[in-house]
Structure 1
Amino acid sequence: MLFKFVSLLSGLLFGLGMMISGMVNPQKVIGFLDLFGQWDPSLAFVMGGALMVFIPGYFLVIKPQKSPRLAATFNFSTPSKADTKLLTGSALFGVGWGLAGICPGPAITLLGSGSMTIATFIISMLAGMFIVQVGTKASSSFRAHTIR
């Protein structure tokens, strides 16, 4: 129960931080990404501030511990090689972020605003995730049958 409360509190704090910093404002994000036009560097300070909190926390708290206090294990991603799937997904994410000025975290935060544009974004994002999942399963199944 404590784990769920801490997770909820962390998510609320993260969402509040994104709203205060302007990361949920698509125009601000597009301004940050527009390096050769009307560049707005203010989000770099937000990211820098986040790193100034994360890095000491990682090396002073997470790194020395064998396991977290509120869960069985740490959930770190494992490094993998850059393959076509990773590069394609990264490129699509970047293009989508640049066009819409919003990415999944801020979009979920903005879902509470009642905006139909954000709702459409979330539905499209979930549809894309579903299509990739179905396509990946179909591709794996096809490869398993052709290898035999």
Structure 2
Amino acid sequence: MIIIFNFLAGILFGFGLLLSGMADPAKVLNFLDLAGHWDPSLAFVMGGAVIVTMIGYRMVFRRAKPVLDDHFRVPTARQIDRQLVIGAAIFGAGWGLVGLCPGPALVSIVLAAPAIFVFVPAMLIGVAGATWLKRVQAAYQSA
């Protein structure tokens, strides 16, 4: 049952990305280009997302537990460490250079833009590489 709801939520999220223009790298790059052909429309998309998220969190956390799980799984880490800063910098640089982040990149596969077929495999290789490095680091620290 959870898989069905996750799939439906993913479809809804994907349609939202397509409808808002977040899956169009040119639109994202124009939003980030403050000195050139700046397109402020994505600010409204982000503002709307923040409002919906605030309302949603308030409604959900009034419950004792989630509908499809036995407890809420909320991140507990509060510190800003080197790993977080480096990861955020790499993410931001990639988003600024290409105009895509992981969600819109996966949605853009349906648009069949040639650049997507380079970006998505590179992104997946990066995810696999980061996972491998984390395992190596954990093994090194436990030895």
TM-score if structure 2 supplies the norm length? Answer: 0.91
Instruction: Name the stretch that deviates more: 82-91 or 3-12.
Output: 3-12
The partner residue of 2:115 within 103, 114, 117 is: 117
> 1:10 aligns to what?
9
Provide closer, same or farther for how the CA distance between residues 4 and 139 of structure 1 changes in structure 2, counting only shifts above 3 A: closer
The partner residue of 1:69 within 64, 67, 70 is: 67
> 2:89 aligns to what?
91
Letter in 2 for 1:119: F
Runs of 4+ in 1 over 6 A off after TM superposition: none
Report percent identity of matched pairs.
41
Letter in 1 for 2:106: I
TM-score if structure 1 supplies the norm length? Answer: 0.88
Q: Could you give the per-residue CA deviations for residues 85-130 of structure 1, whole angstroms, max 9, x where no partner exists? A: 1100100000000000000000111122333321221111111111
Pair 1:103 & 2:80 matched: no
| RMSD, aligned α-carbons | 1.5
Letter in 1 for 2:90: L
- Tell me the CA shift for residue 144 of structure 1: 2.8
> 1:44 aligns to what?
43
- Count how many residue pairs are aligned between Structure 1 and Structure 2: 143
Q: How does 1:14-33 map to 2 (within 5 A)?
A: 14-33=13-32
- Tell me the CA shift for residue 37 of structure 1: 2.2
Provide closer, same or farther for how the CA distance between residues 138 and 57 of structure 1 changes in structure 2, counting only shifts above 3 A: closer
Q: What CA distance in whole angstroms lies between the structure 2 residues aligned with 1:40 and 1:114? A: 24
Name stretches of at least 5 consecutive residues in structure 1 with no aligned partner: none
- Tell me the CA shift for residue 24 of structure 1: 0.4
Letter in 1 for 2:117: A
Name stretches of at least 5 consecutive residues in structure 2 with no aligned partner: none
> 2:57 aligns to what?
58
> 1:140 aligns to what?
138
